[in-house]
């Protein structure tokens, strides 16, 4: 909208009258909002930020530095004052001249400030410049804080960045030109629609604010996502086991059992035909079983890693062997399921169970000595708060984990979507990946604490041993042929951390692959797209840095390379198998019942 068009609207009496009427509707919706928040159960405040000791230590260190080196601190303050005064002077000049000078070319582009008014309007230009000055000054002050250990420094940097992102002028209606322009254009209807979106999101999550990222009405599980044909051939309280229909006349004798993470749903690997790993695997001539985990409620409070291993992993492996009448399977574990598959393989080694011929790990951490981006959340104050949040209900609600992951990319996954939905009144996009991202799962309290305390904090699998079923399990116990697929820009399971775990595994036949892109796109990377390449290097004795320096870059998806490796471990060709057998008849069509259970059901 141009300035003249904006003035025409502002000077129109009819437009102003309709705007006032709509603002009265906004007031009514605001009252509804207050009612929802009044009945909100809430969550443990320790999940919203670190305890005050961190900030106290930082403040004490900053104060000590100021006393010891006051000249340096004054220099910083004077520099901040100078920049602020220059910002104000520039705004005054612009107001007088009714124009704004071009922003310095050295300043990085920021998608939040894409509206031309951030440069052309003196008011918005000053707000933006002062915000960037404030952000720069806060980050510089954090960098100057001494006498903090690396973990505290990491946490202080992270939480200061969260404050900086939260206070961006784009997050507030009076200082967001996009939202203000749309409010004028729509006579306030965009604000009404936005508040309705906000009320809807709060009601859907019992008063907790979880920004809806996708238009949920655009998708139906089993109809336009998760549509690969198959049958549920087994069900217990922990999982449904889906056997997919063959796509070839013959198949490899040894079947595949795929374990997805239980933090999210399995259909990330079957969003649509064009990028479905599940469909592609069956087309390569394999019998494929996929576990669909239960979305637990309070009845699962006492379920731990033991139940996931015994009633999930081991049961699925044994059922696949029984149905296919074979002695071994090839197993795949994705993310937390890859971590747990590794524990399961170590346990099977202790028991002398050779049911798994080879294993494939997708973005799976097994050595947690470097906590990476999750360092701020894996300290005792946060984990203690999670334990208290689990409390009597015995369940860690899905939104806690979803929020944690989202705030690692807050501008893209929190503030940007919130602005579009709540300020602009836009309907979220019909994007299948974002729909899946919002379809999270609760976690049993016992399992969550075991995972956080024993693996993430204690790093027991790599250091000292993880206790399970009376056995002490070590990474070196994982000694079967293995391929690990990791992703170059993965911030959830950084590839170099995954590499450290694979290095410590005991097998002699190990393949390590780094795909381009991140935690999802690097895995869901079909050959037909020819989008992301991958890195390979057979020398796993090198440091992660040297491994990458010496790696070969390969164009295209890693899928065919992995399939070539798997084929050698999958036996002869046999007649294609229909799902189930006489002892395990099909119970219902894929994708089954469990995948349809929502976190709030």
Catalytic positions are: 335
3-state secondary structure of 211: coil
Compute the residue count for the chain: 601
DSSP string spanning 131-189? HHHHHHHHHHHHHH--S--HHHHHHHHHHHHHHHHHT-GGGSGGG-HHHHHHHHHTTTH
| Residue listed under structure tokens 């002028």 | 169
> Are the C-beta atoms of 525 and 531 separated by less than 8 Å?
yes
HEC string of 55-94 equals HHHHHHHHHHHHHHCHHHHHHHHHHHHHHHHHHHHHHHHH
Cβ atoms within 10 Å of 41's Cβ, excluding its own: 8
> Are the C-beta atoms of 308 and 238 separated by less than 8 Å?
yes
Strand 573-575 relative to strand 250-252: parallel, antiparallel, unpaired? antiparallel
Q: How far apart are the first and last CA of the chain?
A: 44
> Are the C-beta atoms of 565 and 548 separated by less than 8 Å?
no
How far apart are alpha carbons 415 and 407 in whole angstroms?
Answer: 9
How far apart are alpha carbons 445 and 396 in whole angstroms?
Answer: 6
> Are the C-beta atoms of 425 and 182 separated by less than 8 Å?
yes
143-170 CB burial, b ≥16 within 10 A, e <16: eebeebeeebbbbbbbbbbeebbeebbb
> Are the C-beta atoms of 468 and 306 separated by less than 8 Å?
yes
3-state secondary structure of 443: strand
How far apart are alpha carbons 201 and 212 in whole angstroms?
Answer: 7
> Are the C-beta atoms of 523 and 487 separated by less than 8 Å?
yes
């Amino acid at each position: 909208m141009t300035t003249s068009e904006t003035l025409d609207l502002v000077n129109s009496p009819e437009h102003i009258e309709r705007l006032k009427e709509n603002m009265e509707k906004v007031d009514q919706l605001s009252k509804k909002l207050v009612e929802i928040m009044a009945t909100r159960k809430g969550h443990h405040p320790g999940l919203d930020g670190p305890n005050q000791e961190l900030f106290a230590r930082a403040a004490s260190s900053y104060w000590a530095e100021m006393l010891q080196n006051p000249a340096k601190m004054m220099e910083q303050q004077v520099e901040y004052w100078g920049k602020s005064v220059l910002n104000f002077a520039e705004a005054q000049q612009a107001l007088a001249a009714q124009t704004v000078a071009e922003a310095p070319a050295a300043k990085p582009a920021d998608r939040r400030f894409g509206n031309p008014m951030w440069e052309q309007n003196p008011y918005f230009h000053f707000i933006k410049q002062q915000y960037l000055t404030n952000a720069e000054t806060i980050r510089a002050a954090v960098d100057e804080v001494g006498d903090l250990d690396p973990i505290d420094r990491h946490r202080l940097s992270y939480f200061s960045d969260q404050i900086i992102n939260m206070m961006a002028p784009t997050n507030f209606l009076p200082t967001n030109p996009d939202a203000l322009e749309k409010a004028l254009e729509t006579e306030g209807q965009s604000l009404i629609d936005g508040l309705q979106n906000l009320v809807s999101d709060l009601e859907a999550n019992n008063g907790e604010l979880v920004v809806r990222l996708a238009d949920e009405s655009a998708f139906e599980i089993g109809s336009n996502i998760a549509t690969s044909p198959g049958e549920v051939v087994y069900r217990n309280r922990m999982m449904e086991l889906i056997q997919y229909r063959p796509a070839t006349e013959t198949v490899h004798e040894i079947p595949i059992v795929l374990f997805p993470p239980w933090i999210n749903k399995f259909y990330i690997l079957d969003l649509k035909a064009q990028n479905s790993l599940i469909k592609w695997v069956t087309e390569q001539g394999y019998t494929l079983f996929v576990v669909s985990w239960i979305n637990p409620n309070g009845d699962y409070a006492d379920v731990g890693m033991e139940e996931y291993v015994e009633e999930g992993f081991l049961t699925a492996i044994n059922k696949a062997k029984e149905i296919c009448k074979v002695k071994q399977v090839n197993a795949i574990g994705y993310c937390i399921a890859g971590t747990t598959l590794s524990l399961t393989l170590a346990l099977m080694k202790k028991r002398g169970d050779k049911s798994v011929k080879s294993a494939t790990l997708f973005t799976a951490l097994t050595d947690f000595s470097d906590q990476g981006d999750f360092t701020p959340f894996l300290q005792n104050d946060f984990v203690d708060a999670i334990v208290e949040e689990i409390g009597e209900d015995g369940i860690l609600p899905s939104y806690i984990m979803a929020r944690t992951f989202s705030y690692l990319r807050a501008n893209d996954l929190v503030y940007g979507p919130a602005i579009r939905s709540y300020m602009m009144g836009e309907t979220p996009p019909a994007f299948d990946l974002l729909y899946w991202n919002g379809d999270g799962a609760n976690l049993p309290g016992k399992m969550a604490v075991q995972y956080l305390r024993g693996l993430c904090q204690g790093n027991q699998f790599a250091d000292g041993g993880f206790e399970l079923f009376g056995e002490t399990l070590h990474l070196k116990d994982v000694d079967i042929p293995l391929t690990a697929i990791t992703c170059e820009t993965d911030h959830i399971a950084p590839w170099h951390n995954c590499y450290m775990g694979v290095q410590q595994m005991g097998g002699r036949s190990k393949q390590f692959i780094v795909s381009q892109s991140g935690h999802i796109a690097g895995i869901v990377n079909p050959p037909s797209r020819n989008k992301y390449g991958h890195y390979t290097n057979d020398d796993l004795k090198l440091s992660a840095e040297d491994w990458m320096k010496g790696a070969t870059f390969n164009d295209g998806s890693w899928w065919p390379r992995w399939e070539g490796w798997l084929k050698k471990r999958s036996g002869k060709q046999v007649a294609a198998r229909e799902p189930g057998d006489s002892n395990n008849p099909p119970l219902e069509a894929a994708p089954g019942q469990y995948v349809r259970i929502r976190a709030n059901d």
